[in-house]
Amino acid sequence: MGRRPSRLPRLEGLPAAALVAVYIAAALAPLALAAFSATVSAGPWNEAGSAAGMIGAVMLLLQLVSSGRFEALSGRVGIDVTMAFHKWAAKVMIVVILLHPLLFLAPVTPEKLGTAFNLLVAMLGSSRYLTGVAALVLVVTVVLLAAWRNRLPVPYEAWRAGHGLMALAAVWATVEHILTVGTYSRDRRIMTFWLLLVVAVIAAALGVYTVRAWRMSRQTWQVTAKRRIAERLWEITVRGKAGERLSFKAGQFAWFSLAPRRFPLFDHPFSIASSPREGDELSFIIKEVGDFTDAIGSVPIATPVGLDAPHGSFTLDGVEADAILLVAGGAGVAPILGLLRDLAARRDPRPVRLVYGCRSAAAMIDPSEFRASLDWLDARASFIVDNPPPGWAYGVGPVSNESLEEILDGLEPQRVGAMLCGPGPMMSAVTDTLHELGVPLRNIRYERFDYAARPQSAKDRRVTAKDRRILTSFWLLAIAIIAAGAAFAFR
């Protein structure tokens, strides 16, 4: 059988500015249509309640496609940013949706508080508003279960299925509420808008589980090798039986699933640890940390594999630098190793510096594993562990200002491109240190999956300048939408 041609690279996605514009346009479209409808205004507070309902409904619908699985959204900004926005937007959405019924009771003075409360109870208990109450309960439940996911005694796949089904149920209840009870539901243009938006987002969401499932069913990838490379760390190699190849960029990742469950519901994201130039095989470094990964070491050779790939923007594309710094922490070594292997395969002439840190030597890939790549480059590496064993011949951690300053010695910081992957606290600290040493923020890239403004862990109190910039952009987006809602209400 002849070699199956490489898949074409996926679309790189929309620029961040375009994504913001599309989000604002979608959120404000029903307000614009309502403002020019024939419906008579019911007063500023009622209009504010209607605005909150419409904005909250759009935000709920857009949550179905902002989870990171769509390259049109995450291709350029990165899945870490889209996932961070997905989590952040869920919290804002809850507030907006809760304001929806409350604003119809405003303004509330102390002497009218009891009356307002009774009206709210009557409203929530009315059969007329049953779908609205159901939507509210479902949305709050979905968000709370997502926030508590790591504490729930259920497998990840079960949570994921429940999360999706409850979200779809919330969408149905919300749209039913809008079309039957909404103040502006009789306007044909507004009704058409809601129907088109619902069809678009549900079709896109279901496409993940249909089109991609179909693609996986046609793939011939299978496990060809596995080996333990550190404590609870495995390297899994896959290859296509029909000469199948994947067109990807170093640093990207794949959604990875194993037979007999080669289906998007059961896949998990893992960075590709190999170079696109290394041939037909793909390498993944997977740590035993959960329901799926705990058994990764017992996967039989020749097990069929499903891949939804490539995804992610953690690549060197667009990084204008005269030298490359690669910083890995723990299991974050996977994409860093892929980048290093690709630099070596391309015989990149630029200076390359590698910093790899772990808590213990047992958890670290043997430094000799990196030699094959480092020897082809103008490279220097620093291997650091927090708790070194007797006779440890490398550095002692954690990664510090001094170790980063030492590894950058002889390089011009303004012309260094830094790629970071590892635990959040490490990336925050390293980003700040590199910035203080003169590396521009635009030249520092990392994959971080939590942009919480107030980190819960006492160990992760620092929010980098890069994080603050992203959070600021989120809040500016919210302020713009809220301001438009207020303008609609008090027009």
Q: Does the pLDDT value for residue 192 go beyond 80? A: yes
CATH number where 303 lies: 2.40.30.10
Task: Specify whether 210 is located in the same domain as 223.
Answer: no
In a domain, 10, yes or no: no
The pLDDT of residue 14: 79
CA distances to 1, 18, 39, 104, 120 from 113, rounded to whole Å, are: 77, 44, 30, 13, 11
Task: Specify whether 417 is located in the same domain as 482.
Answer: no
Q: Does the pLDDT value for residue 98 go beyond 90? A: yes
Task: Specify whether 73 is located in the same domain as 115.
Answer: yes
Domain limit, last residue, from 283, 311, 339: 311
Alpha-carbon 223 to chain mean position: 27
Task: Specify whether 234 is located in the same domain as 179.
Answer: no
Torsion of CA 454, 456, 459, 464, to 10 degrees: -20
Phi, psi of 196, rounded to the nearest 5 degrees: -65, -40
In a domain, 337, yes or no: yes
In a domain, 364, yes or no: yes
Task: Specify whether 24 is located in the same domain as 161.
Answer: yes
Domain limit, last residue, from 282, 311, 340: 311
The pLDDT of residue 449: 52
Task: Specify whether 242 is located in the same domain as 209.
Answer: no
Comparing 357 with 243, the larger pLDDT belongs to: 357
The pLDDT of residue 29: 96
Q: Which structural domain range is residue 198 located in?
A: 16-215+476-489
Q: What is the mean pLDDT of the chain?
A: 89
In a domain, 7, yes or no: no
Cis-peptide into 153, omega within 30 deg: no
In a domain, 6, yes or no: no
d(CA 28, CA 32): 6
Mean pLDDT for 318-335 is: 94
Comparing 286 with 80, the larger pLDDT belongs to: 286
In a domain, 139, yes or no: yes
pLDDT tens digit sequence for 354-386: 999 999 999 999 999 999 999 999 999 999 999
Task: Specify whether 38 is located in the same domain as 165.
Answer: yes
Number of Cβ atoms within 10 Å of the Cβ of 215? 14
The string over 76-88, giving b where at least 16 C-beta atoms fall within 10 Å of a residue's C-beta and e elsewhere, is: bbbbbbbbbbbbb
Q: Does the pLDDT value for residue 42 go beyond 60? A: yes
The pLDDT of residue 239: 95
DSSP string, 4-47: PPPPPPPP----HHHHHHHHHHHHHHHHHHHHTSSPPP--HHHH
Lowest mean pLDDT among 2-6, 251-255, 315-319, 417-421: 2-6
d(CA 486, CA 51): 8
Q: Does the pLDDT value for residue 4 go beyond 50? A: no
Inter-residue contact 41 to 47 (CB < 8 Å): yes
Inter-residue contact 430 to 327 (CB < 8 Å): yes
DSSP string, 165-182: HHHHHHHHHHHHHHHHH-
pLDDT tens digit sequence for 398-435: 899 999 999 999 999 999 999 999 988 888 889 989 99
d(CA 382, CA 395): 7
Task: Specify whether 113 is located in the same domain as 196.
Answer: yes
Q: Does the pLDDT value for residue 390 go beyond 50? A: yes
Exposed/middle/buried for residue 333 (C-beta within 10 Å: 0-12, 13-18, 19+):
buried
pLDDT tens digit sequence for 45-66: 999 999 999 999 999 999 998 8
In a domain, 318, yes or no: no
Closest CA to 434 of 399, 398, 470, 471: 399
Tokens coding 352? 């390359």
In a domain, 11, yes or no: no
Q: What is the pTM of this model?
A: 0.86
Lowest mean pLDDT among 1-5, 240-244, 302-306: 1-5
The pLDDT of residue 480: 94
Mean pLDDT for 252-269 is: 91
Task: Specify whether 452 is located in the same domain as 337.
Answer: yes
Task: Specify whether 23 is located in the same domain as 156.
Answer: yes
Domain limit, last residue, from 250, 279, 311: 311
Q: What is the band of 231 on the pLDDT scale with cuts at 50, 70, 90? A: very high
Task: Specify whether 346 is located in the same domain as 453.
Answer: yes
The pLDDT of residue 108: 79
Non-local CB neighbours of 257 within 8 Å, separated by 6+ positions:
216, 263, 264, 266, 267, 268, 305, 306, 307
Work out how many domains the chain is built from and give that number.
3
Q: Compute the 3-state secondary structure of the chain and give helix, strand, coil in percent, each to the nearest 5.
A: 50, 15, 30
Alpha-carbon 92 to chain mean position: 17
Task: Specify whether 249 is located in the same domain as 348.
Answer: no
- % residues pLDDT > 90 (the chain): 62
